[in-house]
C-alpha cells in the first residue's frame, strides 16, 4: 500500500507543477466573437425529475434549458430588476391595477407569431387551480377573467390589487410564454434563441441555433446540455475536454484551477445569500436582545473565508446586496463583549440552542459548525443538528428555532412577499408584523418612486435592527469553462444572463 500512496503523492505534486507552469497564460480567452460550433455544457440533473415543460422547471438545468428555448415577458437584469423581453414595454394605469403590455414581434420555432392570446393562455395554464406550477404564486394577483387581449400584440392585465412591481411577476421563475394550447412538451416549441433537436432524460438535450431569434441569432450552431451530478465529474469532464462549460463548481475547485490554463473560472458575485434563520415567534429568539447577540457573534469575514473559501462577500443581515432597492446600512461586525452583555441581559446564559442544518445546500453544515465555534465563550452554546436533506426546507419552515438558510437571487420585493409578510407561504423566521405589512403595501401600491424607495429602506432598517435573518455572506456562483469559450456573463444566478448561451462563442 505504501507503494500506492507514494505513487499518488508523486502524481499530485506532478499536477501542482503543471498548474504552476500554466501561470501567466491564464486569461487567453478569445476576445473576438465567432460563429459556429457545438458547446457542451455540464449541469447537475435530476434523472427522473427532468422535464422539458418550462412551467415545470425546477432544477438549474431545467431553468437554463427553458431559457434557451423559451422567453418570458420580462427577465431579471444584473441588478435583479425586471428588464423587458418579449414585452417591449409595460404601462400601468394611474392606480396600478391595470397593466397594458406591448409585445415585440417574435415568432415561435414552428413559424407561428407570438400573439397576445399565447401570453394569456400561458398564464392561464400556470394559474390552473388543479396544478402546481412554480410561477403560480407570483402570478396569483392577476385577475384573469378581467384581463383581455387588445390586439395581436397588446395584452391588458387586470390585477386583484394595486401592484407597482408587476414586472417582477412577469420575470418570475418559470413564467415562460408557450404557444396557446401547448400541453405536450416532448418536442417543445418556444420563441427562444435555440430550438429543440433531441432529449434523453437524465443524459442530454441537444438544441440548435434559431436563426429567426428576435434578439439576433446565437453565435453557436448547437448547444448540448449534458448531465453530470457530481461536481468532481463535471470538473473532470471539463479538464478532459468532454465539455466546454461546467456549471456550479465549488470554491475549492475554483481555487485550485484559477491559475491553471486548462479551465477559466467565471464567478458571479451576489448569487446566493448564506444565512441563519431565527424564528421570532417562539423562545428563545422571540427575545430581541438575543437576536442582536447572535448578529454580533458572527465573524462574517471568517465565515466567508472558511466556508466559501473566499469566493464571496460578507453580508449585512439584509437580502439582495447589489440589487435594486438594497439599503446600504453600516456594516455589522463581530462584538463579543456586547454579545455577552446582551445574552446576560436576555437571561440566556448557559442556554443551549439547537442549530438545524443539512447538506440540502452546499456549505450549510460547514457554516453551522464554524458559527457554533464562534459562539463559544459567549455564554450561549450552539449545538449543530444535521437533518434530512430532501425534506430540509419543509422541516425547518415548521420546526426548531434556529436553522441554516440559503437563497438564490430574486428581487427584494419578491423576497419580502414570499418570506416576511403575515401571510407569506415560506416565512421561515415567522416575522409577522402589521406595521411591516403596511410598509410593504405602501411600497408596492405607490407610483411615486421616492416614496417607494423610502418604504423599502424603512423595511430593511427594521429587519437589520431586529429581524430574524442573520445573513452573513453572499456566495459567488462559480462556472468553469474552456479558455476558448467567450461571452460568459457574470450576472447573479437566476438572472437573465446567468447560464445564457446565445451570446457565448467558441474561440
Partner 1 sequence: MAGLSLTSYAARRAALGLMQVLAVVTLVFFLVEALPGDAAVALAGDNPDPARIAQIRAAMGLDRPAPERFAQWLVGLPQLDFGESLVSGRPVAQFLSAGIGPTVVLAVLTLVLLVPISVLVGVLAALREGSLLDRALTSVSVALHSIPEFALAVVLIAVFGVQLGWLPPTAVGADVLTEPAVLVLPLVVLLARPICSISRLVRAGMVDALASDYVRHARHLGIGETRVRFAHALPNALSPAVQQVARTTDWLLGGVIVVEAVFVIPGLGTVLVDAVAARDLPVVQGLAVVFAVTTVAVNLVADLVGFRLAPRAEVVA
Phi, psi for residue 477 in degrees, rounded to 5: -90, 130
- Region near partner 1 per CB under 8 A, out of 38-46, 326-334, 340-348, 432-440: 38-46
Closest to 356 measured CA to CA, from 347, 364, 348 = 364
Q: Which of 66, 401, 407, 460 binds partner 1 (CB under 8 A)?
A: 407
User: Residue 136 Cβ, how far from partner 1 at the closest point, in Å?
Assistant: 7
Q: Which of 96, 142, 219, 228 binds partner 1 (CB under 8 A)?
A: 228
Say if residues 115 and 73 touch (Cβ distance below 8 Å). no
Note whether 1 binds partner 1 by CB under 8 A: yes
Note whether 50 binds partner 1 by CB under 8 A: yes
Biggest alpha carbon distance in the chain?
79
Q: Which of 146, 198, 232, 447 binds partner 1 (CB under 8 A)?
A: 232
- Region near partner 1 per CB under 8 A, out of 42-50, 99-107, 292-300, 344-352: 42-50
Q: Which three cell numbers stand for residue 258?
A: 484559477
CA distances from 484 to 241, 245, 260, 314 (A): 12, 10, 14, 32
Closest to 498 measured CA to CA, from 70, 170, 95, 68 = 68
Say if residues 306 and 320 touch (Cβ distance below 8 Å). no
How many chain residues interact with partner 1 (CB under 8 A)?
Answer: 59
Site for partner 1 in 345-374 (CB under 8 A): 360-361
Site string for partner 1, 58-97 (x = CB under 8 A): x---------------------------------------
Distance CA 103, CA 71 (A): 12
Any bridge partners for residue 475, and if so which?
272, 312
Say if residues 466 and 113 touch (Cβ distance below 8 Å). no
User: Residue 231 Cβ, how far from partner 1 at the closest point, in Å?
Assistant: 11
Q: Which of 6, 9, 13, 15 binds partner 1 (CB under 8 A)?
A: 15
C-alpha Rg value of the chain to the nearest Å: 24
- Region near partner 1 per CB under 8 A, out of 299-307, 343-351, 392-400, 484-492: 392-400
Phi, psi for residue 55 in degrees, rounded to 5: -75, -20
User: 433-440 long-range CB contacts below 8 Å, 24 or more apart?
Assistant: 436/462, 440/413, 440/416
User: Residue 128 Cβ, how far from partner 1 at the closest point, in Å?
Assistant: 10
User: Residue 275 Cβ, how far from partner 1 at the closest point, in Å?
Assistant: 12
Site for partner 1 in 96-135 (CB under 8 A): 130-132, 134
Note whether 422 binds partner 1 by CB under 8 A: no
Q: Which is nearer to partner 1, 46 or 322 (CB)?
A: 46
CA 156 to chain CA centroid, Å, is 29
Say if residues 195 and 207 touch (Cβ distance below 8 Å). yes
Element (H, E) at 98: strand 98-103
User: Residue 129 Cβ, how far from partner 1 at the closest point, in Å?
Assistant: 8
Q: Which is nearer to partner 1, 278 or 455 (CB)?
A: 278
Using DSSP, state whether 137 is helix, strand or coil: helix
Say if residues 279 and 430 touch (Cβ distance below 8 Å). yes
Q: Which of 33, 36, 47, 216 binds partner 1 (CB under 8 A)?
A: 47
Element (H, E) at 195: strand 194-200
User: Residue 373 Cβ, how far from partner 1 at the closest point, in Å?
Assistant: 26
Say if residues 244 and 38 touch (Cβ distance below 8 Å). no
Neighbours of 473 (CB within 10 A): 26
Q: Which of 203, 282, 376, 433 binds partner 1 (CB under 8 A)?
A: 203
Site string for partner 1, 287-326 (x = CB under 8 A): ----------------------------------------
Distance CA 332, CA 208 (A): 49
Q: What single string gives the DSSP state of each residue in 398-413?
A: HS-SEEEEEEE---HH
Note whether 229 binds partner 1 by CB under 8 A: yes
- Region near partner 1 per CB under 8 A, out of 9-17, 158-166, 447-455, 491-499: 9-17
User: Residue 111 Cβ, how far from partner 1 at the closest point, in Å?
Assistant: 28
Q: Which of 55, 115, 136, 247 binds partner 1 (CB under 8 A)?
A: 136
Binding interface with partner 1 (CB under 8 A): 1, 4, 8, 11, 14-15, 18, 40, 42, 45-51, 58, 130-132, 134, 136-137, 200-204, 224, 226-230, 232-234, 236-237, 239-243, 360-361, 387-388, 390-391, 393-395, 397, 406-407, 418, 425-426
Amino acid at each position: 500500500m505504501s507503494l500506492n500512496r507514494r505513487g499518488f503523492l508523486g502524481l499530485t505534486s506532478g499536477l501542482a507543477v503543471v498548474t504552476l507552469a500554466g501561470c501567466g497564460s491564464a486569461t487567453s480567452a478569445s476576445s473576438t466573437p465567432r460563429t459556429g460550433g457545438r458547446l457542451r455544457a455540464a449541469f447537475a440533473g435530476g434523472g427522473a425529475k427532468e422535464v422539458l415543460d418550462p412551467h415545470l422547471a425546477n432544477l438549474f438545468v431545467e431553468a437554463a434549458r427553458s431559457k434557451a428555448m423559451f422567453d418570458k415577458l420580462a427577465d431579471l437584469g444584473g441588478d435583479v430588476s425586471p428588464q423587458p423581453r418579449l414585452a417591449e414595454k409595460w404601462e400601468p394605469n394611474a392606480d396600478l391595477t391595470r397593466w397594458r403590455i406591448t409585445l415585440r414581434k417574435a415568432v415561435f420555432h414552428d413559424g407561428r407569431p407570438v400573439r397576445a392570446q399565447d401570453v394569456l393562455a400561458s398564464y392561464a395554464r400556470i394559474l390552473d387551480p388543479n396544478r402546481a406550477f412554480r410561477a403560480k404564486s407570483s402570478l396569483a394577483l392577476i385577475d384573469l377573467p378581467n384581463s383581455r387581449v387588445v390586439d395581436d400584440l397588446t395584452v391588458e392585465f387586470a390585477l386583484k390589487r394595486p401592484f407597482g412591481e408587476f414586472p417582477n411577476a412577469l420575470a418570475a421563475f418559470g413564467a415562460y410564454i408557450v404557444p396557446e394550447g401547448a400541453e405536450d412538451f416532448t418536442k417543445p416549441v418556444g420563441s427562444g434563441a435555440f430550438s429543440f433537436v433531441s432529449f434523453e432524460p437524465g443524459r442530454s438535450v441537444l438544441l440548435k441555433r434559431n436563426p429567426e431569434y428576435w434578439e439576433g441569432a446565437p453565435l453557436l450552431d448547437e448547444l448540448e446540455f449534458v448531465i453530470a451530478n457530481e461536481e468532481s465529474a463535471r470538473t473532470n469532464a471539463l479538464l478532459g475536454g468532454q465539455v466546454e462549460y461546467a456549471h456550479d463548481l465549488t470554491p475549492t475547485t475554483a481555487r485550485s484551477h484559477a491559475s491553471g490554463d486548462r479551465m477559466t473560472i467565471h464567478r458571479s458575485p451576489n448569487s446566493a445569500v448564506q444565512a441563519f434563520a431565527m424564528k421570532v415567534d417562539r423562545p428563545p429568539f422571540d427575545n430581541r436582545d438575543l437576536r442582536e447577540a447572535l448578529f454580533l457573534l458572527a465573524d462574517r469575514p471568517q465565515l466567508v473565508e472558511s466556508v466559501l473559501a473566499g469566493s464571496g462577500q460578507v453580508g449585512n443581515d439584509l437580502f439582495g446586496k447589489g440589487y435594486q432597492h438594497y439599503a446600504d446600512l453600516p456594516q455589522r461586525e463581530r462584538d463579543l463583549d456586547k454579545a455577552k452583555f446582551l445574552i446576560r441581559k436576555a437571561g440566556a446564559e448557559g442556554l443551549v440552542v439547537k442549530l438545524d442544518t443539512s447538506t440540502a445546500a452546499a456549505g450549510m453544515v460547514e457554516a453551522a459548525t464554524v458559527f457554533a465555534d464562534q459562539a463559544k465563550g459567549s455564554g450561549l452554546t450552539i449545538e449543530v443538528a444535521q437533518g434530512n436533506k430532501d425534506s430540509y426546507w419543509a422541516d425547518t419552515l415548521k420546526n426548531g428555532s434556529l436553522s441554516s438558510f440559503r437563497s438564490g437571487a430574486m428581487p427584494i420585493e419578491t423576497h419580502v412577499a414570499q418570506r416576511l409578510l403575515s401571510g407569506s407561504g415560506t416565512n421561515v423566521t415567522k416575522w409577522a408584523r402589521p406595521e411591516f405589512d403596511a410598509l410593504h403595501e405602501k411600497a408596492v401600491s405607490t407610483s411615486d418612486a421616492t416614496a417607494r424607495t423610502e418604504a423599502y429602506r424603512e423595511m430593511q432598517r427594521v429587519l437589520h435592527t431586529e429581524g430574524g435573518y442573520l445573513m452573513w455572506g453572499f456566495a459567488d456562483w462559480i462556472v468553469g469553462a474552456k479558455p476558448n469559450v467567450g461571452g460568459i456573463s457574470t450576472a447573479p444566478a437566476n438572472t437573465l444572463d446567468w447560464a445564457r448561451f446565445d451570446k457565448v462563442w467558441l474561440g
